[in-house]
Every structure is written in C-alpha cells, then in structure tokens.
Amino acid sequence: MSSETKRRVADQAYDLLESMIATLQLKPGAPIVESELIERIGLGRTPTREALMRLVSNGLIVQLPRRGLRVGDLMLAEHLDLIEARRVLERLIACTSARRATPDQRDALLQQAQAMVLASERDDLSGYMEADQALDRINHAACRSPFAVAAIVPMVIQCRRFWYAYRHQGDTRQGAQCHLALAQAIAAGDGERAAAASDALMDYLRKFAQAVIE
C-alpha cells in the first residue's frame, strides 16, 4: 500500500470517528475501546489509531493517565465563548477561500450547500450533517491556511456535536440557507460578502446556543 493510499485510509478513519463523535454515537465522557472501534469502522488498526491520535491532538478525545482514552465532554458553559473565537477564524477562512479557491472547489462548495438545503427540506438529518462536513472540508482546503484550519477544526466539531445534541431546538432550513449564502459568496470570489455570510452563520449558531443555554 502506497503512502498516499495509507493517508487516504487514515483520513477516512478520522472522518468516520469525527462523525461518530459529532452525532453522539460516541457519547461525551464515554471510554474509548480501540478494538471495538476497529471493528465498527472496518479500516484496520493503524489508520484507526492514527485517527484517534488526531482526535486527541484537537481535544475531542482526552487521554488520561492509566485510564486510557475517553470522549471529551460537551462544553455547555463555554460554548458561547467558543463561537466568538470561531467567528474570527471563520471570517479569515471565508475571505481567503474567496480569493484562493479553485474553480472545482467553488463548484463543490455550491453543490454541498445545495445538498444541505435539499436535506433540510426533506428533514434528512444524516444527509444534512454529511453535506455540512463535506462543505467544511472543501472550504478548509480552499483557503490554503493550515494554521487557521488546525485551530478551527476542534471548534467546528464541538459546534456540530452541540447542535446535534440539542437539534430539536434548531432550524435546519435557516442553517442551510446560511451555508448557501457563504458558498455563493466564496464561489463568486467576493471576500467582503463571504465575511458577512460567515458572520451571519455564526450569529445563527450563537442564537441557537443561547436558546439552549437559557
């Protein structure tokens, strides 16, 4: 197996575990049993272990001395602060993606945003979250700002997990429209509009979080 193929498999393992954390299949505080995860995702020991270490490095899985790994807790009390920190990075990423995205990436962003809209209209939560994850991945690649991406990824997953945990109070149609406006601005190469759309998305997430907390 080539190194590129190994990396793709490790990325697949990471995406699967990230989704399991975001959708609470792996619950906050739950112990991680590596052998069970290897069996569940079916990609082998090495890529699963690499994915777990990446999740440890971004804080979604916690490594405890002599107690192994466990899923990180939901940060309810700090969630509004997390959104405000994410707001700054999202603006940076949106602006740089508007400048740097390739034509294929612009098209792909629009496709995933439109998939989110369709999924929200069908009340297809799984499809909505899958398209959301794909949109983020494309946006992060398009911005070509690895330090900003490394900083924001844990925040994105925490927000996705928070949203999933309290989704009965959310509005997927509004969320989908926010993502569509962001994708359209980036696709048009309009950095100012992309920044405004990014702020609107963070406003939506903040309003949702405030409703949950209050």
**Mean pLDDT, rounded, for 170-184:** 93
Distance (Å, rounded) from C-alpha 86 to C-alpha 158?
11
- pLDDT bin (cut points 50, 70, 90) of residue 57 is confident
Q: Is the model more confident about 196 or about 20?
A: 196
Closest CA to 55 of 84, 26, 79: 26
**Mean pLDDT, rounded, for 170-182:** 92
**Mean pLDDT, rounded, for 140-165:** 92
- pLDDT bin (cut points 50, 70, 90) of residue 146 is very high
**Mean pLDDT, rounded, for 179-193:** 98
| pLDDT of 199 | 98
| pLDDT of 22 | 83
Tell me which DSSP letter residue 63 carries: E
Q: Go through the domains of the chain in sequence order and give each one's CATH number.
A: 3-71 (1.10.10.10), 79-213 (1.20.120.530)
Best-predicted range by mean pLDDT (27-41, 49-63, 112-126): 112-126
* DSSP calls for 77-121: TTHHHHHHHHHHHHHHHHHHHHHH--HHHHHHHHHHHHHHHHHHH
| pLDDT of 9 | 84
| pLDDT of 191 | 97
Q: Given a cut of 70, is residue 104 above it in pLDDT?
A: yes
Of the CA atoms within 13 Å of residue 44, those in its CB half-sphere come to 10
Q: Given a cut of 60, is residue 75 above it in pLDDT?
A: yes
* Percent of the chain surpassing pLDDT 90: 51
Q: Which amino acid is at 71?
A: V
Q: For residue 17, give every residue at least 6 positions away whose Cβ sits within 8 Å of its Cβ, in sequence order, or none.
A: 26, 37, 41, 48, 51, 52, 55
CB 148 within 8 A of CB 89: yes
